[in-house]
Amino acid sequence: MYVEEPDEPLQRLQERAIQGNTMSDFDYESLLDRARENIPQEISSRSRWRLPEPQIMIEGQNTIFRNFNEVVSMMDRDDNHVYQYILNELGTSGSRDGPRARFKGRIPPKRIKKTIVNYVNSFIKCSQCSAPDTHFIKQDRTTLLKCQACGATRPVKL
Ligand SMILES: [Zn+2]
């Protein structure tokens, strides 16, 4: 069960969550947008592919990714694969808690955002045309990432 720290008013917690979203040295949106740059016109004119801004809060000795499920639902990938990838990248343990993911330790929000961008680059983005419209296919023992926009494939290690 998730409990707000009782001595801290909700508004301050929200302000802190918002502050965590302003990145000076790491621009989540522009990195994701870059995934759109080289896509053929007829595809890029479809609704823009965006991930919700992660809402990340430090709570005691834990870090809470408040809208984990919401972010992952936009990725069209197995949520547990994304979750395990983030844990590995952060080198920590954690737990799922309803729509949230909880990580052990006080982890800067930008590190978590970076793992999401890394995931997108590794497992979603086409390396040829940068479209995010991709899916996994099996070929013998290899898993390939196949792009629905340009048809390119590349091997991925799941
Ligand atoms: Zn492609």
Gap from CA of 122 to ligand 1 centroid (Å) = 13
Structure confidence by residue, pLDDT tens digits, 141-152: 999 999 999 999
CATH number of domain containing 120: 3.30.30.170
Q: Is residue 2 part of a domain?
A: no
What whole-number distance in Å separates Cα of residue 147 and Cα of residue 72?
19
Gap from CA of 151 to ligand 1 centroid (Å) = 6
Gap from CA of 52 to ligand 1 centroid (Å) = 23
Q: Percent of the chain at pLDDT above 90?
A: 62
Q: Is residue 29 part of a domain?
A: yes
Gap from CA of 105 to ligand 1 centroid (Å) = 38
Q: Is residue 115 part of a domain?
A: yes
Q: Is residue 155 part of a domain?
A: no
Q: Is residue 17 part of a domain?
A: yes
Mean residue pLDDT of the chain comes to 81
For residue 89, give its domain range.
10-127
Tally of domains within the chain: 1
In which region does residue 69 sit, left (phi positive, over 0), alpha (psi from -120 to 50) or beta (all else)? alpha
Structure confidence by residue, pLDDT tens digits, 59-107: 999 999 999 999 999 998 999 999 999 999 999 999 999 999 999 999 9
